[in-house]
Amino acid sequence: MTDAPVVDWDALRAAARAALEHSYAPYSKFPVGAAALVDDGRVVSGANVENASYGVTLCAECTLVGQLQMTGGGRLVAFACVDGAGNLLMPCGRCRQLLFEFGGPTLLVDSPRGTVPMTEVLPDAFGPHDLTDPARTPEKPGEAPQ
């Protein structure tokens, strides 16, 4: 049993708000900023990047995961996401799946009703553990199979 991680939620929310600066949301005019604590202490962030072909839009969580991978990978421990007014947002369905890959069931999500674990945000998640063929399954979430 590992101890609950120490999370500076104020700092994480501040990082999510800072990420808003990089949002490209000319169509929805709904900027989103996201930030996450990584198990090595890093904080990674992302912002939504929209497209004239609306469905091609990248949520803030997508660019956050891109930054995670491009700065050394690791496992997400805690996550926060805000709108342009700085209000906490819950990730959309697709992003819940995206976050599960890199945070697993213990990822803590900052929500308007308090901190909730991924098991509540995405119950009965489909994940790496469902790919039973070892050749296809990472050793642990966020770790690519060799």
Q: Is 103 in the site for ligand DUR (CB under 6 A)?
A: no
Sign of the torsion formed by the C-alpha atoms of 96, 142, 128 and 118: negative
Measured CA to CA in angstroms, residue 10 lies from 15, 37, 52, 88 at distances of 9, 12, 34, 12
Binds 110: which of ligand DUR, Zn ion, none (CB < 5-8 Å by kind) = none
The partner residues of 47 in beta bridges, in order of sequence, read 33
Q: Is 25 in the site for ligand DUR (CB under 6 A)?
A: yes
Report the C-alpha gap between 4 and 103 in whole angstroms: 14
What is the DSSP-derived secondary structure letter of residue 130?
G
Query: Which of 15, 38, 44, 50 is in the footprint of ligand DUR by CB under 6 A?
Result: 50
- For residue 49, the number of C-alpha atoms closer than 13 Å in the C-beta half-sphere is 9
Is 120 marked active-site? no
Stretch that binds Zn ion, among 6-14, 35-43, 86-94, 112-120 (CB under 5 A): 86-94
Q: Is 118 in the site for ligand DUR (CB under 6 A)?
A: no
Query: Which of 59, 76, 78, 82 is in the footprint of Zn ion by CB under 5 A?
Result: 59
Query: Which of 60, 68, 108, 122 is in the footprint of ligand DUR by CB under 6 A?
Result: 60
Name the closest residue to Zn ion (Cβ): 59
Q: Which of 21, 61, 101, 143 is catalytic?
A: 61
By C-alpha distance, which of 130, 132, 105, 102 is closest to 120?
105
Chain residues binding Zn ion by CB under 5 A are 59, 92, 94-95
Please give the positions annotated as active site.
Answer: 61
